[in-house]
Structure formats: C-alpha cells, structure tokens
C-alpha cells in the first residue's frame, strides 16, 4: 500500500477533525435543549464585555509566550532570527498541533520552517525537545497546585472524570519520570526499550526490528542530550519553564473570564481548579484538540460549580470557541502568511544562520549513537 504524502496526511487529519467536530456539535445540540445559538448570543450580549475581551487576550498571550520561549531557546543555540519568527514558529506549532492527534504534528511542522530559515535539523529538533521537557514539567506543577488548592473537588467528581484526570496525571508523571531517568540511567532505558522491541518482534507486532532499534537509539540520544543541556543551562530551563507555566495559567484563565463575564460572583477558585482538572483530563486522549472528550469532561466537571445547565453549556461553547477554534483561526492565518513569505523569499537572500554560542552535545558521556548501539 502506497504511503500518504505529508500534504495528504494533513488533509486526512483536517477532514477527520471536521467530522469529529460535526459529530460532537450535532450530539451536543440535539441532546441538550438548553444549548442553542439564541442562548449563546444572549450570554454574550448580557455578559461583561471586558471579561470576554480578557479571555481573547489570554488566548493571544499564550501564542506570544510560546513564541518567546522558543526565542530564548534558539537564541541560546546562536540562531540570530528575530523574535517575530519565533512567534511564527509558535503559530505553526499550535495550528498543526490542533489538527493532528495528540498534537503530534505541530513540532515537526515548525521544525521544517526553522530548517528553511537556516537552523540545522539537529538544533531545530533540540529546540522542541527542550520545550517539551519544560512544557510537561509546567503541566505537572499546575496540576499539583490544583490538587493542593482544593482537593475536595476531585473527590466530588463522578467515576469517568476522575478516571481521565488520573490517566492524564499518570501520563504527565511518566513523561517527567522518563526525563529524570534519562538524566540518571539512559542505558537502562535503552536496554528496556530494546527488550520491548524484541518482544514485539517475536509476537510479530512489528516486522523491521533493526529499524525500530535504530530509531530508539536516536530518540534516547536526542532526549539525553537535551537533559544534559538542561544541567548546563539551568537558568534557561527555569525561564522557559516559567513561560510555559504562564501559558498553562492563561489557558485556565480563559475559562475563568468566560464564566465571570456572565456571573461576576462565580467561584473563582473552584473554576480555576476545575479547569486545571479538565486540561489534564483531556490532554492524554489522542484526538485532535481533544474534540469530543473535552465537551464530555466539561459538562461532567463544571456541574460542581454551576447548577444551571443552560449557563454551563453556553459558557462551554464560548470558551471552546476562544481557546480552540479562534486560536486555530489566528495561528492558521499566521502560518499561511509565513508560508507564503518563505516560498517567495528571494533566492539570493541568505537566511539567518547559527553562531557557535552553544554547541549541541553528543550523546551522554561524549558517545555517539553508534557507540551506544555497539554496546547493546
């Protein structure tokens, strides 16, 4: 069977996303009589416009913080590109993450444009690996804070919301544990990974054993390099971590502001904690933007804060429109514009290049991926 090209995969993902959105909206509108465009319009009309503007501002600020965090990393690598380019990379990352399962396409797409702008493939890859480590760490910090602020809210939830929240927390902790393990014992992880590959090969789940083994070695080396760089550049890690933590807080505040727009006396602390639970709950599900599971969790989580279902449904649609659909429109537009700028760039114009301010390390202990493979 012929493999799909990148453009074909993107088209398939977008079509799948549109179908998913259509089915989700159809189920929501047909199964909830309180949910209709009239009620949503009334919510916006009677709500405090300043809170709604604040929610939109939070969405835009998320993109800016994302871009600035990438800017700090690439500058440390010696890349002389302007901050505006990092904002474009952040938009490309956000857009492609929104239309691909588990946000898997965003970083790869942004890395392509980084390479076109003069970065090496290794530096572009390192940038997003470093960002992924800080992003995940910030997620864990925010989730922990939510449990500390008001743990009783979690205990009041039904089984399925609790299940998805626990699944999300477990996923984030496993990722952080993986990064820590790379710092302490990357060889052990490599041996475990090779053992799993051998087992899957014997079970005939995978065919090309050596191909998977080589891929594993490269990925382990790449992440181990990143962890080693974090040890060398602790302040860069702290700064990017704080920016990512700020992004997560802004994602929570979008929901807070949307709820406050219609009810200024809405329980701020409860909404903040519930939204943290919601974010971690749907983030681990491999669906584009968590479409479907997000709506399910929202209705089952937010009923602890609001008894009026009409209010809750309208707030959900407005919040989702700002945080996901509007964000996708903004980042998609920026991505398109930057793509056009890139393809029209004059052939004689040299893109910004990297300096030698920071040299990317070899795999841990100065080894190459071939050395690691030979020892295994």
Q: What angle do CA 336, 288, 121 make, to 5 degrees?
A: 55
Q: Quick one: pLDDT at residue 60?
A: 96
Give 70-108 as a 3 state SS string: HHHHHHHCCECCCHHHHHHHHHHHHHHHHCCHHHCCHHH
> What percent of the chain clears pLDDT 70, i.e. is strictly above it?
84
The verdict on residue 332 lying in a domain is yes
d(CA 203, CA 245) in angstroms, rounded, equals 42
d(CA 23, CA 295) in angstroms, rounded, equals 12
The verdict on residue 204 lying in a domain is no
d(CA 122, CA 354) in angstroms, rounded, equals 12
The verdict on residue 296 lying in a domain is yes
Domain extent, residue 98, equals 9-172+235-345
Three-class SS of residue 354? Answer: strand
Residues in the chain: 376
Instruction: Supply the pTM of this predicted model.
Output: 0.81
Which has more pLDDT, 59 or 15? 59
Three-class SS of residue 79? Answer: strand
> What percent of the chain clears pLDDT 90, i.e. is strictly above it?
31
d(CA 227, CA 233) in angstroms, rounded, equals 10
d(CA 113, CA 237) in angstroms, rounded, equals 24
pLDDT band at 155 (very low <50, low <70, confident <90, very high): very high
- Span 202-220, mean pLDDT? 81
The verdict on residue 182 lying in a domain is no
Taking only the tens place, the pLDDT of each residue in 354-369 is 444 444 444 444 444 4
Q: Is 46 exposed, middle or buried (0-12, 13-18, 19+ CB in 10 A)?
A: exposed
Instruction: Give Dmax over CA atoms of the chain in angstroms.
Output: 68
Q: Assess contact for 267 and 287: CB atoms under 8 A.
A: no
Answer yes or no: is pLDDT of 135 > 70.
yes
The verdict on residue 147 lying in a domain is yes
Q: Quick one: pLDDT at residue 234?
A: 83
Number of domains in the chain: 1
Taking only the tens place, the pLDDT of each residue in 53-109 is 999 999 999 999 999 999 998 888 778 778 889 999 999 999 888 877 766 678 888
- Span 24-44, mean pLDDT? 76
Q: Is 335 exposed, middle or buried (0-12, 13-18, 19+ CB in 10 A)?
A: buried
Q: Quick one: pLDDT at residue 61?
A: 96
CA-based torsion, 256, 259, 261, 265: positive or negative:
negative
Q: Quick one: pLDDT at residue 6?
A: 64
The verdict on residue 149 lying in a domain is yes
For 164, the token pair is 């998805």
Taking only the tens place, the pLDDT of each residue in 277-323 is 999 998 878 777 778 888 899 999 999 988 787 888 888 999 999 99
Range ranked top by mean pLDDT from 8-17, 100-109, 150-159: 150-159
**Angle formed by the axes of helices 159-202 and 209-232, to 10°?**
120
Taking only the tens place, the pLDDT of each residue in 314-335 is 889 999 999 988 998 899 889 8
The verdict on residue 374 lying in a domain is no
d(CA 155, CA 240) in angstroms, rounded, equals 33
Strand partners, 79: 354
- Span 260-272, mean pLDDT? 85
Q: Assess contact for 143 and 169: CB atoms under 8 A.
A: yes
The verdict on residue 200 lying in a domain is no
């Amino acid at each position: 069977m012929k493999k799909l090209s990148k453009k074909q995969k993107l088209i398939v993902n977008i079509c799948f996303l549109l179908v998913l959105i259509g089915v989700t909206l159809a189920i929501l509108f047909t199964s909830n009589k309180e949910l209709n465009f009239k009620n949503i319009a009334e919510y916006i009309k009677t709500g405090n416009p300043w809170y709604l503007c604040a929610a939109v501002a939070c969405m835009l600020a998320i993109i800016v913080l994302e871009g600035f965090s990438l800017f700090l990393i690439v500058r440390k690598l010696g890349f002389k590109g302007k901050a505006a380019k990092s904002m474009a990379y952040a938009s490309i990352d956000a857009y492609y993450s929104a239309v691909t399962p588990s946000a898997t396409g965003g970083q790869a797409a942004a890395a392509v444009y980084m390479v076109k702008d003069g970065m090496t493939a290794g530096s572009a890859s390192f940038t997003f690996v470093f960002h992924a480590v800080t992003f995940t760490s910030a997620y864990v910090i925010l989730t922990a804070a939510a449990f500390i602020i008001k743990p009783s809210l979690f205990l009041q939830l039904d089984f399925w919301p609790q299940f998805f929240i626990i699944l999300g927390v477990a996923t984030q902790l496993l990722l952080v544990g993986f990064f820590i393990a790379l710092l302490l014992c990357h060889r052990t992880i490599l041996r475990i990974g090779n053992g799993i590959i051998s087992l899957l090969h014997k079970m005939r789940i995978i065919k090309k054993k050596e191909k998977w083994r080589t891929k594993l070695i490269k990925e382990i080396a790449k992440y181990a390099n990143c962890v080693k760089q974090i040890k060398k550049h602790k302040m860069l890690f702290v700064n990017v971590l704080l920016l990512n933590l700020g992004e997560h807080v802004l994602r929570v505040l979008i929901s807070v502001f949307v709820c406050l727009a219609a009810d200024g006396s809405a329980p701020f602390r409860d909404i903040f904690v519930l939204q943290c639970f919601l974010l971690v709950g749907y983030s681990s599900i491999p669906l584009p933007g968590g479409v479907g599971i997000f709506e399910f969790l929202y209705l089952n989580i937010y009923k602890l804060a609001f008894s009026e279902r009409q209010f809750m449904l309208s707030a959900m649609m407005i919040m989702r429109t700002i945080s996901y659909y509007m964000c996708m429109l903004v980042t998609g537009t920026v991505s398109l514009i930057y793509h056009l700028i890139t393809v029209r760039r004059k052939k004689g114009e040299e893109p910004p290049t990297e300096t030698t301010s920071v040299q990317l390390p070899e795999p841990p202990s100065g080894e190459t991926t071939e050395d690691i493979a030979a020892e295994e």
